[in-house]
Amino acid sequence: MIVEVGTYAVGQVITFHKNDELVSHRLVAVNADGTLTTKGDANDSADPSPIAVNDVVGGVIASPPGLGFVVEYLHNPLTIASLLFWLLCGWYLWPRSSPRAEGVPPLRPA
């Protein structure tokens, strides 16, 4: 997701800190005490605890499809091993020299 720091409005998806993680939910209301009420788009009800304004990073302005999958994949500890495995396979299978036998001169047209 691409987040514009410090800028957000009711109805927009915002990113905020919650329990040492970044969470992105839709801002549904600004409460009288200055806290914010959020709701996940896949949830039927609002989040049970309000969010302090100081915990908000900003408003989401773009969310490229599939980006979450890529980010999760890159956080997996086996990612580096699998990428190195496939790179080594490609390096091993890629032809590194010409198929002609050494010491045999190339064919010349007659």
At 16, is the secondary structure helix, strand, or coil? strand
Q: Which helix (H) or strand (E) holds 23?
A: strand 21-30
Would you state the pLDDT for residue 72? 80
Coil, strand, or helix at residue 97? coil
* Pairwise CA distance, residues 53 & 16, whole Å: 9
Q: How many domains does the chain have?
A: 2
Tell me if 107 is assigned to some domain: no
- In this structure, are 31 and 7 located in the same domain? yes
Q: What domain range is 78 assigned to?
A: 64-93
Does 46 fall in a domain? yes
CATH of residue 10: 2.30.30.140
> What tens digit of pLDDT does each residue of 72-102 get?
888 887 888 888 899 999 888 887 665 555 6
The verdict on residue 31 lying in a domain is yes
In a domain, 98, yes or no: no
Please give the average per-residue pLDDT across 33-59, as a whole number.
Answer: 92
79-93 and 67-75 helices cross at what angle (nearest 10)? Answer: 90
- Residue 110: predicted pLDDT: 64
